[in-house]
């Protein structure tokens, strides 16, 4: 072959390779989490209160299932995921229905629908529906240290709708700035937007994050009737281990404030959790969680009773990874409150709540 022909051939091959690298890369996957839980209070109609996962008692059901598609290039990223399950019905029940084309009927089936663009070497801008930046526990159970969610996880946003900018300040420090429709809602419930921030610093085997959400929010009163929107600011602190071998742990503290109606004073709620998981053998792990949540004015946790919610709890779990990416998890969770806030099937209420949950989950 002549040298000129060889040069042209190499040029063609390198050009083809460059074209292939510039094309968007698509991937798809999914997750199925089936659960059975038994709540010893035997709640009315099987619906468990103050929890999204598990949401039902004494019932085999789909807790969460989703399929997703991801796209990525050097300057583009995105994810579209559709979901269903009892946790979805529970968590999205509060989606606002304002107008004739909003509400949970469609919104709850969209887990994420986001698209991001890299505007500089260290900055991304993403828009759409995306997982919230607050909290140490994911919406997807396989990504968490414990099977069920703590109270601080269930009473802070799992998802947001809006736009966010993420900037890498250094190899150890990242910053986020968000503008969203509000506090875990896809459709708007008022005319105001929320501002969010997030900053995370990593060193050695630890990371520390401080996240906020600020804006006017509408909270229901004791009868479930929405009140006028009042100024709310929320602060989330997370300290967790990274690449720590057989033992993983995370600690979280949340504190929120909301202006009282027609007043300059603020209501306050506070919560925290401490979680750990230890590898005891090949594919086997033990997990433990301690938690507390107190909302004296029922701003985010409404009991629909005169008694306010102030509870402590703990959980103990066992995880085992089986063949074909199947994860079997079992957990016992106990909560005790200052007042009778946990409903029982005999129309009575209890200070205590004990639940056993088991799950089989498949990732594909």
Find the CATH number of the domain harbouring 118: 2.40.160.10
Q: What is the pLDDT of residue 19?
A: 43
In a domain, 18, yes or no: no
Q: What is the pLDDT of residue 102?
A: 86
The string of pLDDT tens digits covering residues 307-347 is: 889 999 999 999 999 988 899 999 999 999 999 999 998 78
The string of pLDDT tens digits covering residues 31-78 is: 999 999 999 999 989 999 999 999 999 999 999 999 999 999 999 999
Backbone angles phi, psi at 261, to 5 degrees: -55, 130
The helix (run of H) or strand (run of E) holding residue 70 is strand 59-72
C-alpha 314/C-alpha 289 separation (Å) is 5
In a domain, 266, yes or no: yes
The string of pLDDT tens digits covering residues 209-246 is: 999 999 998 755 555 555 566 899 999 999 999 987 89
In a domain, 2, yes or no: no
Q: pTM value?
A: 0.90
C-alpha 147/C-alpha 169 separation (Å) is 34
Residues forming a β-bridge with 163: 127, 179
Residues forming a β-bridge with 159: 131
What radius of gyration, in Å, describes the C-alpha atoms of the chain?
23
C-alpha 210/C-alpha 247 separation (Å) is 23
Neighbours of 195 (CB within 10 A): 14
Residues forming a β-bridge with 353: 335
In a domain, 8, yes or no: no
In a domain, 302, yes or no: yes
Taking Cα atoms as reference points, which of 179, 137, 133, 195 lies closest to residue 159? Answer: 133
What's the domain count of the chain?
1
In a domain, 15, yes or no: no
Kindly give the residue spans of alpha helices, DSSP state H, lying in 252-307.
none
The string of pLDDT tens digits covering residues 144-180 is: 999 999 999 999 999 999 999 999 999 999 999 999 9
DSSP 102: -
Range of the domain at 136: 24-363
Q: What is the pLDDT of residue 226?
A: 55
In a domain, 289, yes or no: yes
Q: Are strands 309-321 and 284-295 parallel, antiparallel or unpaired?
A: antiparallel
C-alpha 42/C-alpha 311 separation (Å) is 19
Which CA distances in Å does 291 have to 17, 77, 102, 179? 53, 36, 35, 30
Span 121-129, average pLDDT:
98
In a domain, 17, yes or no: no
Band of pLDDT at residue 189, cut at 50, 70 and 90: confident
Q: What is the mean pLDDT of the chain?
A: 91
């Amino acid at each position: 072959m002549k040298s000129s022909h060889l040069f042209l051939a190499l040029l063609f091959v390198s050009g083809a390779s460059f074209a292939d690298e510039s094309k968007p890369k698509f991937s798809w996957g999914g997750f199925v989490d089936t659960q059975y839980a038994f709540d010893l209070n035997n709640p009315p109609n099987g619906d468990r209160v103050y929890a999204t996962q598990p949401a039902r008692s004494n019932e085999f059901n789909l807790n969460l299932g989703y399929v997703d598609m991801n796209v990525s290039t050097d300057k583009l990223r995105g994810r579209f995921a559709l979901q269903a399950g009892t946790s979805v019905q529970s968590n999205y029940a509060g989606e606002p229905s304002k107008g004739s084309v909003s509400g949970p009927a469609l919104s709850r089936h969209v887990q994420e629908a986001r698209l991001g663009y890299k505007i500089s070497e260290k900055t991304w801008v993403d828009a759409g529906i995306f997982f919230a930046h607050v909290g140490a526990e994911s919406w997807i159970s396989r990504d968490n240290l414990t099977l069920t969610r703590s109270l601080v996880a269930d009473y802070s946003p799992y998802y947001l709708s809006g736009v966010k900018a993420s900037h890498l300040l250094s190899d150890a420090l990242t910053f986020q700035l968000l503008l969203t429709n509000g506090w875990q809602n896809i459709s708007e419930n008022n005319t105001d937007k929320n501002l969010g921030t997030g900053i995370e610093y990593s060193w050695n085997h630890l990371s520390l994050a401080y996240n906020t959400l600020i804006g006017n929010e509408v909270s229901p009163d004791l009868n479930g009737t929405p009140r006028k929107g009042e100024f709310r600011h929320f602060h989330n602190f997370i300290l967790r281990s990274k690449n720590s071998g057989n033992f993983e742990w995370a600690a979280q503290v949340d504190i929120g404030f909301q202006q009282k109606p027609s007043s300059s004073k603020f209501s306050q709620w506070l919560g925290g959790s401490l979680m750990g998981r230890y590898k005891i053998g090949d594919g086997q792990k033990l997990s433990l969680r301690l938690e507390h949540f107190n909302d004296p004015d029922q701003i985010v946790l409404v009991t629909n009773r005169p008694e306010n919610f102030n509870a402590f709890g703990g959980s103990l779990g066992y995880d085992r990874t089986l063949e074909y990416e199947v994860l079997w998890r079992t957990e016992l969770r106990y909560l005790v409150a200052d007042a009778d806030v946990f409903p029982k099937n005999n129309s009575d209420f209890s200070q205590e709540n004990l639940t056993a949950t088991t799950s089989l989950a498949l990732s594909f």
